[in-house]
Amino acid sequence: MPDITDGVGDGGTNKVHDVAIVQAMLTVVKNAKGNPYLTDYDGKSGPSTIHAITAFQTDQGLIPKPPPPAPHHGAHHAGHPAAPPPPPPAAPAAAGEKPGLVAKGSTTLAKMVGALPADFAPMRIIENTRTVYFPGTDADENASSNAINTTGDLEPAFRSKVVQLVDLMFSTHKIVLSVTATGGHRTFQQQSDTIKKGTSTKAGPGESNHNFGRAVDIGFNGFQWLKGDGAKATDDWWLNKLTKDGKDKVGIARAAELWKARDVIAVNGTPGLFNSILSGDDIHLQSFDDNLPNDRALVDLLNRVGSLKWEAEHKKPRRYNCDLGFGGKMFNVGTSVEIWDLKPTVTKKMIAEAKTDVLIRAAADKGAAAVKAVVHVKESTITDAEVVALRKALKDDFIAAETNWLNWRSVP
Amino acid sequence: MCGDRPLVSRFLAGFILLPCIAFAAINTWLAAQRDGISHSVSHRTVLSTFRVGREPNLTYDLSIAPCSAAECSFQVRLLAGTEVVTTLDLDWAKARGPVTKDTVDESSGVGDPLQAPTQIVAWSTGEEKTNVSTVARLVRLTPGLNGLLVDQRAGYDVLKRRHDLVVALGRKLVHAWTDAEGNGPTWSTVVIEDSNSDGSQRIIAFDGFRYPSNDQPDRLHYTGYHWNPKTNLIESLPDGPPPLYAVLGGTYKTLSEARAAQAQSSCLGTFWVLKSDGFFKLAQGMFVLTDVSTERPLAMKKLSEIKSCALQYSISVVESVYHPSE
């Protein structure tokens, strides 16, 4: 049932969420002519809002009918752009109701709530936001929570936190959060496919926050909110309807308030999740600080679960150095996409150099003369099969990293 | 080597240090010239400089403001000669670390959807998730007035783009237009097009949303803007945006058929799945696989590229106004 924390209208405290929900009710409730008292809501109380409240009170017999309004050319707010300010009442208000004011616990508020159609009666709002919405259902919350809980591809501790977020968001605000279709664990192959599409990511296989079950895109799919015309809208995960596909400044600001409300629970609350540092990526949450580089974490995992030695080369695009399994000199073998596609930079010359390096290191213990005597391995002695096998070995390490995704950890 | 030399006496120190400082300064200057970046004494990094218009003395520059903190603002300055008239910070994304030259690619949000310009330089700062790639372009708003269009791409795991048009009106810098991507699998790019015989240009802004689930078509919008010298405002083109060239990878009765075709093709994966209703020249109530361009040659080039791998699809290029229903 809609409620307010403080007075709205003439002489009210006019907190944004209180004003918005009173205005919202006045966009839904109709007068005797079948017209709503307001045609929009914005959380700002002005002459139009006060006039609408007064009109509602008058129609409900809560205050005496005022005399005809005098012409006025003042500022306008939500709804009735040409509405005049509330005129002074002709007689003292009845039943303690002040004209133009909806006080907490007042008869005006009770009448307004009572006038709502049954399917609009559950409308509610979050403190310091301007979007009036309708509670999600227990069934939807259970479905979302269960879907996350039963998925095996999120790291267990992180998964628990995400479920906790879903549960807390519902118990606190009756909003059902859910993970987008591609917003959970992404395989290395899916990551490879995504980067090849060219425009949405620069992260290759093993370089995404989503490759190791510690990140989700979790949003508002199915969220029902009240439009300015008093009708319900059902939104998608990204609140595209509210933001009008990201084109409406007011809608964008309203959506930002809702993301913030989610993060009050997700980030500042018990789950203690981390959000994205990127502007426009509110939907993303993860288990670790987003400032940490992913290539170092990938190399850390490769070195723990793979058979080769790896280093991250901090250049763009991200490339990797590898010892090719010879335990010495490191060679730049390419990007993670190239490695995953079995097209890394592995040449006969590199293998010959790596093998020579092994001989030199073995000779080093015996002195400079021994090192000098080392016969360098010739490129011509390296076979095509060795090159192919090494390329596969590089990918095998990536496969090992993917297989051992639970062992991934963020690295400063 | 200069820095390692011990100081024997004050005289000797001065004798040695001064040439060292001069040598270092010249080296820094030479390095900056090589990189195309100019560093002022205030450690400001100037990325690009452009003329404002007819007045040769007046210039825009895009720079990274000097700062001691880890994050620095990208800043547009209006200069009269060497005097800074006014500045405007672009704070959507901050610069971190040194600046390097970067290439413009299809993710930059610069130029035609089917071909990113190769001649333009991007400036890159930050690593991975703090990476920001910035491009500055001149737009001839009128024969006598240029605007500075700044395109930025931020992020790594997820990429987001923003486009800002800054215009010098008298001695002021005005943030004339902006377009930023919101949440989700978004994309945007801005094309600068010659529009009039007087040499003025317009901007065509594309933005799209690739739905990750199969129950919704993608969303693609494009809007044309021009400068109205009477109002000194950027405004939508009065007749709507110009027609675009759609490379079609087939028309489908249902969304699921279109998505299935997209998934099965190796070369249509980047195509948009759109309702056909937006294209005035196509049968309505259908779904199309399409990629779009502002230039016919680019669309034809794309068509020839996909021919070999999309034999089973009915591919073509259609010139059409595109206006998706809300």
Residue A249 contacts B where some CB pair is shorter than 8 Å: no
Residue whose structure tokens are 């240029």: B146
Average pLDDT over chain B reads: 84
* Residue of B157, B183, B207 with shortest CB distance to A208: B157
Largest CA distance in chain A: 113
Q: What pLDDT does residue A85 have?
A: 54
What is the pLDDT confidence band of residue B16, given thresholds at 50, 70 and 90? very low
Q: How far apart are CA A29 and CA A35, in angstroms?
A: 8
Interface contact A200-B183, CB threshold 8 A: no
Q: Name the closest residue on chain B to residue A277, using Cα atoms.
A: B129
Q: Which parts of A60-207 fold into alpha helices (H)? A: 107-114, 138-150, 156-173, 188-196
3-state secondary structure of A295: helix
Q: How far apart are CA B33 and CA B27, in angstroms?
A: 10
Q: How far apart are CA A14 and CA A6, in angstroms?
A: 7
Bridge partners (DSSP) listed for residue B151: B135, B163
Give the number of A-B residue pairs with CB atoms closer than 8 Å: 117
- Sign, Cα dihedral of A135, A137, A142, A147: negative
CB A398 within 8 A of CB A320: no
CB B90 within 8 A of CB B152: yes
If 0-12 CB within 10 Å is exposed, 13-18 middle and 19+ buried, where does residue A194 land? buried
pTM: 0.87
Residue whose structure tokens are 């210039």: B59
CB A131 within 8 A of CB A20: yes
Q: What pLDDT does residue B240 have?
A: 86
Q: How far apart are CA A42 and CA A131, in angstroms?
A: 8
**Mean pLDDT along residues B166-194:** 95
Per-residue pLDDT of B33-87, as tens digits, reads 444 444 443 567 899 899 999 888 999 999 987 766 678 889 999 999 999 999 9
CB A256 within 8 A of CB A281: no
Could you give phi then psi for residue B211, rounded to 5 degrees?
A: -65, 125
* Residue of B157, B187, B221 with shortest CB distance to A199: B187
Numbered residues of chain B with Cβ closer than 8 Å to any chain A Cβ: 92-93, 100, 102, 105-107, 124, 127-131, 154-160, 162, 180-187, 207, 209-210, 212-213, 216, 219, 221, 269-270
CB A336 within 8 A of CB A320: yes
Radius of gyration (C-alpha) of chain A in whole angstroms: 32
Q: What pLDDT does residue A292 have?
A: 84
What DSSP character marks residue B212? Answer: S
Bridge partners (DSSP) listed for residue B175: B166
Q: How far apart are CA A365 and CA B265, in angstroms?
A: 58
User: Identity (one letter) of the amino acid at B234?
Assistant: I
Q: B47 is written with which tokens?
A: 């990325």
CB A271 within 8 A of CB A162: yes
3-state secondary structure of B59: strand
Residue A131 or A198, more confident: A131
CB A111 within 8 A of CB A60: yes
User: Identity (one letter) of the amino acid at B156?
Assistant: Y
Task: Provide ipTM, 2 decimals.
Answer: 0.87
CB B293 within 8 A of CB B116: no
Query: Cβ atoms within 10 A of the Cβ of A389, count?
Result: 14
Query: Cβ atoms within 10 A of the Cβ of A269, count?
Result: 16
Per-residue pLDDT of A291-320, as tens digits, reads 888 889 999 999 999 999 999 987 777 899
Q: What pLDDT does residue A231 have?
A: 97
All residues of chain B having their beta carbon less than 8 Å from the beta carbon of residue A239 are 183
Q: B26 is written with which tokens?
A: 């010249």
CB B155 within 8 A of CB B173: no
Interface contact A293-B269, CB threshold 8 A: no
DSSP characters over B165-202: EEEEETTEEEEEEEEE--SSSEEEEEEEEE-STTS-EE
Interface contact B269-A193, CB threshold 8 A: yes
Interface contact B160-A281, CB threshold 8 A: yes
Q: What pLDDT does residue A72 have?
A: 54
CA nearest A18: which of A54, A44, A36? A44
CB A317 within 8 A of CB A202: yes
DSSP characters over B276-315: GGGBTTS-TT-EEEEEEES-HHHHHHHHHHHHTT-TTS-E
CA nearest B73: which of B49, B44, B94, B99? B94
Q: Which of A188, A202, A248, A341 is the best substitution to test chain B (most B C-beta atoms within 10 A)?
A: A202
**Mean pLDDT along residues A165-190:** 96
All residues of chain B having their beta carbon less than 8 Å from the beta carbon of residue A289 are none
**Mean pLDDT along residues A265-271:** 97
Strands, DSSP E only, in A230-324? Answer: 232-234, 274-275, 284-286, 310-313, 319-322
Per-residue pLDDT of B91-127, as tens digits, reads 888 888 888 899 999 999 999 999 999 899 999 998 8
Q: How far is CA A343 from the centre of its chain?
A: 35
Q: A260 is written with which tokens?
A: 């913030």
Interface contact A197-B187, CB threshold 8 A: no
Per-residue pLDDT of B221-245, as tens digits, reads 999 999 999 999 999 999 888 899 9
All residues of chain B having their beta carbon less than 8 Å from the beta carbon of residue A260 are none
Q: What pLDDT does residue B4 have?
A: 31
User: Identity (one letter) of the amino acid at B212?
Assistant: P
Overall size of chain A counted in residues: 412
Q: Using alpha carbons only, give the angle A391, A397, A402 rounded to the nearest 5 degrees.
A: 130
Q: How far apart are CA A340 and CA A392, in angstroms?
A: 9
What DSSP character marks residue B38? Answer: E
Interface contact B209-A281, CB threshold 8 A: no
- Sign, Cα dihedral of B75, B76, B81, B84: negative
Which residues touch A34 (CB under 8 Å, ≥6 apart)? Answer: none
Q: How far is CA A389 from CA A124, A325, A344, B250, in A?
A: 63, 11, 12, 41
Q: Determine if the peptide bond prior to A317 is cis (ω within 30°).
A: yes
Query: Cβ atoms within 10 A of the Cβ of B10, count?
Result: 8
Interface contact B184-A197, CB threshold 8 A: no
**Closest CA of chain A from B144, distance in Å:** 31
